[in-house]
Amino acid sequence: MTVLCRSRYATMSMYEFDPKELLRPAFPGLEEEDLVELASVAEICSYPEGAVLCHEGDYGDTFFLIVEGEACVSKYLDEENPRRVLHALGPGEFFGEIALIQGGTRTATVDSEGPITVLQIHRDSLVRVLQRSAPMALRLVLRVTSRLRDADQMAIDDLRQINEELRRAYHNLERLDRAKGDFISVVGHELRTPLTVISGYANMIKTAPAVRDDVNLNLFMDGITTSIDRLQAIINSILDVSKIDTAALKVRMVPTSLVVLINEIEAEFRDVLEERQLVFDAVGIDRLPYIIADSDLLYKAFYHLVVNAIKYTPDYGQITVSGAIVQNEADGDVIEIVVADTGIGIDKEHHELIFDKFYQTGEVMLHSSGITKYKGGGPGLGLAIAKGAILAHGGRIWVDSPGYDEENLPGSRFYMHLPLTEWKG
């Protein structure tokens, strides 16, 4: 009989145990000749504490029956739980059969808890006896299914626990998000009041003769009032976003002319468009009907999209706002407004994320904080407000752009679909 103990720790004590008598209780009902065959190819080996008898994922061709000592069965879950203990095995119990039946790869790791003695049988001999002996095959199948059931139960328990942890983390995040929203809203309101006072005084000082007649002082005051306007715009955006977040946004639906809104936007940016030599075109908007909408909210949405088109398009570029009635699969006839530019474009991976508050692509080198300067940057709130405003109308908003490229300027197209709530009044 060839006896090969696989572990370098293994020592043999062949004469102490009778393999046939060890196998008999493990496989009751096994024919005597099968017991004899198995016993004849069995090896008895001893291993010290911590020896790895099976390693998860490794190829295995040996079946083990514990004679003396204990072993621990464990599985790798993830980096945080590299060793999830499944169960302990003691004398009379066997392991390593699943790899033999399933085709070679160990499904778990088994290591010795202390010094251990095992009876080992090579795959070929075991399979030969299995093919002949129904009771042994049945016993092995029962053992395998019971182990699989244990593993299933363990996985279900793990999932339950993870689910519970996720639920708690989600509630915690919700609570923190509410606290953050409240904080932002309170700070916004607190800042707005003194800023309004400062703005009032600054405008008064600007008109005072001593300042008006002094070119330098006049320049300084312009700087101050421009910065105050910018601060006010940021605070208003923060308050808008916090209203959208807390669902405190009030929608006031009134008959609304889209052409009037777009004309107002154009008027708002006329000086900037001229300064930056940008062409602004409105196409088809004048053919759109009056709709029932919240004109303030729609104004905000268009405002932020056009500010962005200005910010992310270099001088001499083109901004086009077009409108049409189109059909979309989900809603039928809708009003489609598209704000298109010939600017730096946006990579696909950011197309959804840019509508989240405070999200910026990180691809734009922020040159200055001016609201309409090329690549002027901002707090990352404009698109979140535009999205909130369009969703409040039951509409949809998305962007299409071939990608980000400051050299070739592929441009971006922001689409809005609004319900066709035509006003016939």
Binding residues for ligand ADP (CB under 6 A): 304, 308-309, 312, 341, 343-346, 354, 359-361, 364, 377-384, 412
Nearest-angstrom CA–CA distance, 228 and 234: 10
Smaller CB separation from ligand ADP, 243 or 304: 304
Residue 134 Cα distances to 25, 121, 417, angstroms? 16, 18, 69
- Which residues 6+ apart lie within 8 Å of 113 measured at CB? 49, 69, 70, 71, 72, 88
* Residues 6 or more apart in contact with residue 190 via CB below 8 angstroms: none
Residue with tokens 């809104």: 261
- Taking the complex as a whole, how short is the minimal distance between the CB of residue 353 and ligand ADP, in angstroms? 9
Q: What is the dihedral of CA 265, 266, 269, 273, to 10 degrees?
A: 150
Residue 328 Cβ vs ligand ADP, minimum distance, rounded to whole Å: 22
Of 199 and 361, nearer to ligand ADP (C-beta) is 361
Looking at the Cβ atoms of 197 and 283, the one nearer to ligand ADP is 283
Q: What is the smallest separation between the CB atom of 306 and ligand ADP, expressed in angstroms? A: 9
CA 328 to chain centre: 28
Q: Which is nearer to ligand ADP, 304 or 396 (CB)?
A: 304
Q: Which residue is nearest to ligand ADP (CB)?
A: 378
Residue 261 Cβ, how far from ligand ADP at the closest point, in Å? 18
b/e sequence 291-300, b meaning 16+ C-beta within 10 Å: bebbbebbbb
116 DSSP β-pair partners: 47
Whichever of 144 and 234 has its CB closer to ligand ADP, that residue is 234
User: Which one, 236 or 360, has the nearer CB to ligand ADP?
Assistant: 360
Backbone angles phi, psi at 224, to 5 degrees: -65, -45
Please state the closest distance from residue 360 (CB atom) to ligand ADP, in A. Answer: 4
Contact 361, 403 (CB under 8 A): no
Q: How far is the CB of 260 from ligand ADP (least distance, A)?
A: 23
